[in-house]
Amino acid sequence: MINDLLTLTLIEAGKALYGEKIPENIIQIQKTRPEFEGDLTIVVFPLLRISKKNPAQTADELGKYFVTNLENVVTYNVIKGFLNLTISNNYWLNFFNISKNQTDFGKKEITREAPVVIEYSSPNTNKPLHLGHIRNNLLGWSVSEILKANGENVKKVNLVNDRGIHICKSMLAWQKWGNGVTPASASKKGDKLVGDFYVLFDKKYKEEIAALTASGMEKEKAEKEAPLLVEAKQMLKKWETGDKEVRKLWAEMNGWVYDGFDVTYKRLGVEFDKIYYESDTYLLGKALVEEGLEKGVLFKKEDGSVWCDLSSDGLDEKLLLRADGTSVYMTQDLGTAQLRYNDYHPRELIYVVGNEQNYHFEVLRLILKKLGRPWAENIVHLSYGMVELPHGKMKSREGTVVDADDLMDEMYNTAKQTTEALGKYNDFTPVEADKLYHMLSLGALKYFMLKVDPRKTMMFNPAESIDFNGNTGPFIQYTHARIRSLVRKGKELGNNWQSVQYKDIEMAPKEKSLIKLLYDYPSTLEQAAQNFSPAMIANYVYDLAKEFNQFYQEITILKEEDSEKRNFRLALSEFTGNTIRAAMKLLGIEVPERM
Tell me the three-class secondary structure of 436-451, residue by residue: HHHHHHHHHHHHHHHC
Say yes or no to pLDDT of 395 above 60.
no
Rounded distance, CA 364 to CA 341, Å? 14
Residue 424: pLDDT band (50, 70, 90) is: low
Rounded distance, CA 128 to CA 191, Å? 5
Rounded distance, CA 5 to CA 29, Å? 11
Rounded distance, CA 169 to CA 571, Å? 61
Of residues 22, 23, 55, the one with CA closest to residue 41: 55
Rounded distance, CA 340 to CA 172, Å? 32
Where is 388: in which H helix or E strand? strand 387-388
**Residue-averaged pLDDT of the chain:** 93
**Residue 162: is it exposed, middle or buried by C-beta count within 10 angstroms (0-12/13-18/19+)?**
buried
Q: Which residues of 500-521 are buried (b: 16+ CB within 10 A; e: fewer)?
A: eebeebebeebbbbbbbbbbbb
Q: What is the pLDDT of residues 452-511, one digit of tens each?
A: 999 999 888 777 888 888 899 999 999 999 999 999 999 999 998 988 899 889 899 999
Residue 399: pLDDT band (50, 70, 90) is: very low
- β-pairing, 299-300 with 40-43? unpaired
- The pLDDT assigned to 393 comes to 47
- The pLDDT assigned to 112 comes to 80
Rounded distance, CA 488 to CA 570, Å? 10
- β-pairing, 154-160 with 82-87? unpaired
In sequence order, what DSSP letters do the residues of 112-163 get, joined into one string? -SSPEEEE----BTTS--BHHHHHHHHHHHHHHHHHHHBT--EEEEEEEB--
Tell me the average pLDDT across 111-118.
Answer: 91
Rounded distance, CA 156 to CA 340, Å? 11
Rounded distance, CA 341 to CA 60, Å? 55
Is the backbone of residue 54 left (phi > 0), alpha (psi -120 to 50) or beta? beta
What single DSSP character describes residue 22? P
- β-pairing, 40-43 with 29-31? antiparallel
Residue 394: pLDDT band (50, 70, 90) is: very low
- The pLDDT assigned to 312 comes to 92
Tell me the average pLDDT across 52-67.
Answer: 96
Which three-class secondary structure state does DSSP give residue 43? strand
Tell me the average pLDDT across 40-63.
Answer: 96
- The pLDDT assigned to 418 comes to 85
Residue 398: pLDDT band (50, 70, 90) is: very low
Which three-class secondary structure state does DSSP give residue 35? coil
Tell me the average pLDDT across 89-114.
Answer: 92
Q: Could you tell me what percent of the chain has a pLDDT over 90?
A: 85
Of residues 381, 379, 359, the one with CA closest to residue 369: 379
Residue 401: pLDDT band (50, 70, 90) is: low
Residue 575: pLDDT band (50, 70, 90) is: very high
The CATH code for residues 2-87 is: 3.30.1360.70
Does the domain formed by 120-398 have CATH 3.40.50.620? yes
Which three-class secondary structure state does DSSP give residue 79? strand
- The pLDDT assigned to 585 comes to 98
Residue 524 Cα to chain centre, angstroms: 15
- The pLDDT assigned to 329 comes to 87
| Domain residue ranges of the chain, discontinuous segments joined by + | 2-87, 120-398, 404-586
- The pLDDT assigned to 129 comes to 93
Q: What is the pLDDT of residues 221-260, one digit of tens each?
A: 999 999 999 999 999 999 989 999 999 999 999 999 999 9
CB atoms within 10 A of CB 221: 12
Does the domain formed by 404-586 have CATH 1.10.730.10? yes
For the chain, the farthest-separated pair of C-alpha atoms sits apart, in whole angstroms, at 91
Report pTM: 0.91
CB-side neighbour CA atoms (13 Å) of 4: 2
Rounded distance, CA 173 to CA 285, Å? 29
Is residue 11 within 8 Å of residue 5, measured between CB atoms? no
Say yes or no to pLDDT of 113 above 90.
no
Is residue 446 within 8 Å of residue 138, measured between CB atoms? yes
- The pLDDT assigned to 185 comes to 97
Say yes or no to pLDDT of 568 above 60.
yes
- The pLDDT assigned to 282 comes to 86
In sequence order, what DSSP letters do the residues of 302-364 get, joined into one string? TTS-EEEE-GGGTS-EEEEE-TTS-B-HHHHHHHHHHHHHHHH--SEEEEEEEGGGHHHHHHH
Rounded distance, CA 229 to CA 243, Å? 19
Residue 397: pLDDT band (50, 70, 90) is: very low
Residue 40: pLDDT band (50, 70, 90) is: very high
Q: Could you tell me what percent of the chain has a pLDDT over 70?
A: 97
Say yes or no to pLDDT of 61 above 80.
yes
Q: What's the Rg (C-alpha) of the chain?
A: 29
Tell me the average pLDDT across 377-395.
Answer: 78
Rounded distance, CA 535 to CA 139, Å? 9
- The pLDDT assigned to 396 comes to 41
Cα three-residue angle 518-524-530, rounded to 5 degrees: 165
Residue 400: pLDDT band (50, 70, 90) is: low
